[in-house]
A = this chain, B = another copy of it.
């Protein structure tokens, strides 16, 4: 597929994800971690405008000079911006305005991409595709939160079905032997800067579960009082449980004594065989401790990943998000992409049911704060 078609594909997929929404659903921001869908639509467009069209496209006219203020996410280099908590307070630009903005930028991009491109520009375009794919996943997670926290529990799409994953043999553990392993991206394709510098790590022998923990198994933890016994938790996790009165994964509701979960197709009885989802790192750790097991490190995960099926939910690891040996930031605004977040966050590995096709790979490093649950997160155990 040529670069123009790739561009169109990525851009259309974003709009396809928003297709089932009502105008109002594009606007709200129920918690700070969630962005309004219309903001994602604008921000991904701003990214192409700011980092490609404005510096490289001859005579490009910015669509609206005030949009830089509205759609900049966190790039300090590029100037001031709407503070994150205010994204849901903006009724303007309207959804229609933003679709017009997208059309304007798409037009310019398609023209621009039809020319010969310098290698440096090609790299940025590829980064733009991957950036938009990341926001596609965020769109799904944010939409789920917006609808799933509405007291009316509206479905996103009554016909939505989760992709099915391979059948599981529940207690299987895979044994990996002690030795030196190579970690980090290898090859010619795209990767993010945080995957770079393939390097050696020494791993002790370990075992890792072939399957993710499922809802039935997690329910047993709840029923055994797991959320009421401090011994399973980090001190900070235990404070989080008590301050926020946490007693189950996000989107679980106990209705008339029966557990339900909110899904993209609406509120449904808990699917016991599905892998547990929407749990924080604190919960993943507590569950593992309760089982007498632990979470794998991100290095163990990468070493073992060829031997199990992954991609159902992002999997919490025990590793803090830190730079690989020799990590360096690009200069300028693009250098703000990953490096400045390498503190007090925890790595997730794998992918999830809402990850864009082709966007996942074995060396991919996702990362979130330890209390966050609105992503499609799961648990794989190690020992």
- B-contacting residues of A (Cβ < 8 Å)? 22-30, 38, 66, 69-70, 74, 76-77, 82, 86, 88-95, 146-147, 149-152, 154, 180, 199-202, 204, 206, 230-231, 233-238, 281-282, 285, 294, 318-320, 322-323, 325-326, 335, 340-344, 346, 370
User: A323–B295 Cα gap in the complex (Å)?
Assistant: 11
Hey, which chain B residues are within 8 Å of A151, CB to CB?
Answer: 66, 69-70, 82, 90
Q: Do residues A76 and B230 form an inter-chain contact, with CB atoms below 8 A?
A: yes
Q: Do residues A28 and B30 form an inter-chain contact, with CB atoms below 8 A?
A: no
Hey, which chain B residues are within 8 Å of A235, CB to CB?
Answer: 74, 340-341
Hey, which chain B residues are within 8 Å of A230, CB to CB?
Answer: 76
User: A150–B87 Cα gap in the complex (Å)?
Assistant: 10
Task: Provide a sorted-by-A list of 11 A–B residue pairs whose CB atoms are within 8 angstroms.
Answer: A23-B94, A24-B94, A24-B95, A27-B27, A74-B235, A88-B88, A91-B150, A200-B202, A231-B335, A282-B343, A319-B320
Hey, which chain B residues are within 8 Å of A76, CB to CB?
Answer: 230-231, 238
A146 and B91 contact, Cβ closer than 8 Å, known pairs A74-B235, A151-B66, A370-B344: yes
A343 and B234 contact, Cβ closer than 8 Å, known pairs A28-B91, A91-B22: yes
Interface centre among A200, A206, A281 (most CB of B within 10 A): A200
Hey, which chain B residues are within 8 Å of A154, CB to CB?
Answer: 92
Hey, which chain B residues are within 8 Å of A233, CB to CB?
Answer: 340
Q: Do residues A236 and B150 form an inter-chain contact, with CB atoms below 8 A?
A: no
User: A200–B178 Cα gap in the complex (Å)?
Assistant: 10
Q: Which residue of B lies closest to A81 (CB)?
A: B151
Return A97 CB to nearest CB of chain B, in Å. Answer: 9
Hey, which chain B residues are within 8 Å of A237, CB to CB?
Answer: 343
Return A61 CB to nearest CB of chain B, in Å. Answer: 18
Of the candidates B91, B150, B202, B322, the one whose C-beta lies within 8 Å of that of A25 is B91
17 further interface pairs, Cβ-Cβ under 8 Å (given A27-B27, A70-B152): A24-B24, A24-B91, A26-B91, A28-B89, A66-B152, A76-B238, A88-B89, A90-B151, A91-B146, A180-B180, A200-B202, A206-B325, A234-B342, A318-B322, A319-B320, A320-B320, A344-B344
